[in-house]
């Protein structure tokens, strides 16, 4: 069953790179929108909530096509990026990271929002009475208390990125060594003669990576809860 071929190693390495950058790219935005939805009431809140969760209910191919229309070389935003800054993300691994970030974003927001809603706001109010500013309260009280939720969101986003297929193949295609992540490589190997062994190896690796992510998440969450007093 082993050793792995060069194409398989490239797909695994690319998947891990895409998943890593997709999480770190979307985490600050996930924190902001989770806080906004959990702590603020404003006109259009339901619409914002719905737009954030659209990737969960729309076919991934639709999300990929929207990204292509918006960020493609001739897209609404992509054309300006290319002409003004010389930046192009379509059909590159950076585009795969963006597609994965969009698909995993709702999971991150939901996990962090649920954690925020369980925080005792009395602790934050007490800190404000001691003249702590909003930023200091968030960094020293709120952020540590919601760290298990953040960790859960990060792991969910990472795992979702590892398994992303539809939006990725639509937005950045299936280019070996550039955008062919693990799911795309698995699909490719199932379509070629003699590719069954490689497909099986990648299936096993995908399962192992997913279980490893969940194990690490649970281990770190328990450590954090212990430090926070259970």
Assess contact for 169 and 100: CB atoms under 8 A: no
Assess contact for 96 and 18: CB atoms under 8 A: yes
How confident is the prediction for the chain on average, in pLDDT?
88
53-102: pLDDT as tens digits: 999 999 999 999 999 999 988 888 988 988 888 888 988 999 999 999 99
Above 50 in pLDDT, residue 120?
yes
In the predicted model, what is the mean pLDDT of residues 145-152?
88
Boundaries of every domain in the chain: 6-227
Above 70 in pLDDT, residue 26?
yes
| Confidence label for 228 from pLDDT (cuts 50, 70 and 90) | low
Can you give the pLDDT at residue 94? 93
Above 50 in pLDDT, residue 199?
yes
In the predicted model, what is the mean pLDDT of residues 207-225?
81
Query: How many other CB atoms are there within 10 angstroms of residue 169's CB atom?
Result: 21
* Distance separating alpha carbons of residues 40 and 29, to the nearest angstrom: 16
Of residues 194 and 31, the one with the higher pLDDT is: 31
Above 50 in pLDDT, residue 33?
yes
Q: Which fold has domain 6-227?
A: MetI-like fold (1.10.3720)
In the predicted model, what is the mean pLDDT of residues 34-52?
92
| Confidence label for 223 from pLDDT (cuts 50, 70 and 90) | confident
Can you give the pLDDT at residue 229? 65
Q: What is the 3-state secondary structure (H, E, C) of the chain?
A: CCCCCHHHHHHHHHHHHHHHHHHHHHHHHHHHHHHHHHHCCCCCHHHHHHHHCHHHHCCHHHHHHHHHHHHCCCCCCHHHHHHHHCCCCCCCHHHHHHHHHHHHHHHHHHHHHHHHHCCCHHHHHHHHHCCCCHHHHHHHHHHHHCHHHHHHHHHHHHHHHHCCCHHHHHHHCCCCCCCCCHHHHHHHHHCCCCCHHHHHHHHHHHHHHHHHHHHHHHHHHHHHHHHCCC
pTM for the complete prediction? 0.88
Residue 116: both structure tokens together: 């925020």
In the predicted model, what is the mean pLDDT of residues 185-209?
88
Structure-derived torsion over alpha carbons of residues 140, 141, 144, 150, reported in degrees to the nearest 10: -110
Q: Evaluate the CA torsion angle 85, 74, 106, 163 in order and state its sign.
A: negative
């Amino acid at each position: 069953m082993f050793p792995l071929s060069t194409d398989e190693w490239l797909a695994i390495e690319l998947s891990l790179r895409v998943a890593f950058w997709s999480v770190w790219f979307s985490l600050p935005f996930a924190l902001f929108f989770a806080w906004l939805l959990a702590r603020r009431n404003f006109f259009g809140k339901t619409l914002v909530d719905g737009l954030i969760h659209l990737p969960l209910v729309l076919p991934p191919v639709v999300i990929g096509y929207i990204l292509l229309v918006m960020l493609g070389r001739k897209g609404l935003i992509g054309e300006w990026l290319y002409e003004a800054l010389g930046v192009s993300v379509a059909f590159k691994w950076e585009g795969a990271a963006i597609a994965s970030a969009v698909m995993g974003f709702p999971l991150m927001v939901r996990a962090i929002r649920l954690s925020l809603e369980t925080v005792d706001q009395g602790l934050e109010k007490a800190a404000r009475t001691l003249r702590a500013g909003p930023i200091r309260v968030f960094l020293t009280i709120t952020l540590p208390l919601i760290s298990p939720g953040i960790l859960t969101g990060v792991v969910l986003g990472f795992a979702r990125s590892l398994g992303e297929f539809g939006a990725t193949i639509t937005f950045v295609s299936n280019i070996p060594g550039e955008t062919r992540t693990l799911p795309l490589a698995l699909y490719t190997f199932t379509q070629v003669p003699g590719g069954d062994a490689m497909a099986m190896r990648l299936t096993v690796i995908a399962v192992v990576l997913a279980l490893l992510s969940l194990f690490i998440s649970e281990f770190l969450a328990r450590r954090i809860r212990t430090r926070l007093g259970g």
